[in-house]
Amino acid sequence: MGNNLEPRNQRRVTELTVCEVDKTRLPSWVKLSEPHNAPVVVVATWLKPELVSRIGLPKESICGFLTEPNGSVTPEQFIAYSGFVDAIHNICRERLDPQLIEFAALISERKAVLIDQRSPDVNAEIPTEDIIGTYEIENSVVGKFTANPSYRLVTGNGCMQLTPWLRECLYSLVATEGIA
What is the predicted pLDDT for the residue at 173? 86
**29-54 burial code (b ≥16 CB/10 A, e <16):** ebeeeeeeeeeebbbbbbbeeebbee
Domains: count for the chain:
1
Does pLDDT of 12 surpass 60? no
Is 81 among the domain residues?
no
Is 48 inside any structural domain?
A: no
In a domain, 134, yes or no: yes
Torsion angle of alpha carbons 102, 106, 107, 113, nearest 10°?
A: -40
Helix (H/G/I), strand (E/B), else coil: 99: helix
pLDDT 10s digits, 127-147: 999 999 999 999 999 999 999
Q: Cα–Cα distance between 4 and 10 in angstroms, integer?
A: 12
The answer on pLDDT for 4 being more than 60 is: no
Quick check: is 13 in a domain? no
Residue 127 resides in a domain: yes
Q: What domain range includes position 150?
A: 87-163
pTM more than 0.75: yes
Rg (CA), the chain: 17
Q: Any residues with CB less than 8 A from the CB of 149 and at least 6 apart, and which?
A: none
Dist. CA 38–CA 22, nearest whole Å: 9
Residue 131, in any domain of the structure: yes
pLDDT of residue 36: 60
The pLDDT tens digits for 36-60 are 667 788 889 998 888 888 888 888 8
Measured between alpha carbons, how far is 81 from 158 in angstroms, rounded to an integer? Answer: 17
Domain annotation covers residue 150: yes
Band of residue 11 on the pLDDT scale cut at 50, 70, 90:
very low
Contact 112, 97 (CB under 8 A): no
Split at pLDDT 50, 70, 90, the class of 13 is low
Residue 14's contacts (CB-CB under 8 Å, 6 or more residues apart) are 46, 159, 160, 161, 162, 167
**Confidence class for position 108, pLDDT limits 50, 70, 90:** confident
**Residue 72 included in any domain:** no
